[in-house]
Structure 1
Amino acid sequence: MTTRAELTEKIVAHKTYHGKKWVDVAAAVGQSKEWTTAALLGQLSLSKEQIAAASGALDLEFSEEEIALLMTPPYRGSLPTAVPTDPLIYRFYEITNVFGSTIKALIEEEFGDGIMSAIDFTMDIERSKDPKGDRVKVTLDGKFLPYKMY
């Protein structure tokens, strides 16, 4: 029996070994590179059609069991520890620790008491050229959900 974590490792190893790019897999799947990457890393479920497209783009055959795993809504959360140890992921943790209360205050001032959805949500990751060194631009775009009174 293959676990979802083992399947993720298989996909990433195959993709890396064969020099495939997430953006190319996403184009075949018909979704954004951010969504497709999250799905193939085990954080979202895919349809049979999306799995077939990803299989073709990756040149990787999936067993029936693996297809079922890819179609199953996952237990979300991809970090192995409460505080991330990977330096790149830790920067986002650090941003939240330092600027989280600022982000919260500014969202509440603009929208009121509520949250930004991570379900009705899009993300975009881009490279911006800069003479002092390329920049990483991350855009998080979530629907505002006000807290209800009852």
Structure 2
Amino acid sequence: MTRNEITEQIVLARLTKGLTWQELADAVGRPVVWTTSALLGQHPIPADIGKVFVDMLGLDESAIAVLAAPPMRGGLPTAVPTDPTIYRFYEALQVYGGALKELIHENFGDGIMSAINFSVDLQKKSHPSGDRVVVTFDGKFLPYDWVSADS
């Protein structure tokens, strides 16, 4: 069974059983964003945690090994996302990406925010004009370290 096939089974089983992503995350003591991303195929899931998910979702035990394997990360079906929710993140980075890059360099120096040593959180915030979505990216700063070939 492929990772994509298992992901489809996970989504179907979660909906059929009426489980929320938060309930799945709570069952293994992991953050909900990480859990959701992992179950959608973006992170390897340690075998002990995979076993909990397999049991909760009624999946075949053979899925545990596939869930534990390093996945092919990233990659959207199109160069520009067409799903409206994902597109809004793309749009926000088009508008604010340059400013964020400049501010990172101004505050930290020449480097990047790690997406490996990283966490992300999503919160709902009440607001008189309508609920707000608060997304927090928390990545380690990695300075560029230009090393010559002779080093």
Band the TM-score falls in, shorter-chain normalisation: over 0.9
Listed as ranges, the gaps of 5+ residues in structure 1 are none
* CA shift digits 1:34-67 (9 cap, x unpaired): 11111110000011111122234x3323331x21
Equivalent of 1:90 in 82, 87, 90:
87
DSSP 3-state at the match of 1:85: coil
The letter of the residue matching 1:13 is L
The letter of the residue matching 1:129 is S
Aligned in 2, Cα 1:19/1:78: closer, same or farther, shift over 3 Å?
A: farther
Aligned Cα RMSD in Å? 1.2
* CA shift digits 1:83-132 (9 cap, x unpaired): 10000000001011111100100111000000000011010001001121
Match of 1:62 in 2: 60
Mean Cα deviation higher: 85-94 or 2-11 = 2-11
Match of 1:5 in 2: 4
What TM-score comes out, normalization by structure 2 length?
Answer: 0.92
Work out the CA distance in 1 between the residues paired with 2:85 and 2:99.
21
- Asked whether the equivalents of residues 43 and 78 of structure 1 are also in contact (C-alpha less than 8 Å), the reply is no
Work out the percentage of aligned pairs sharing the same amino acid.
Answer: 50
Are 1:79 and 2:76 counterparts? yes
Match of 1:49 in 2: 48
- Asked whether the equivalents of residues 9 and 59 of structure 2 are also in contact (C-alpha less than 8 Å), the reply is no
After TM superposition, list the pairs within 5 Å mapping 1:19-38 onto structure 2: 19-38=18-37
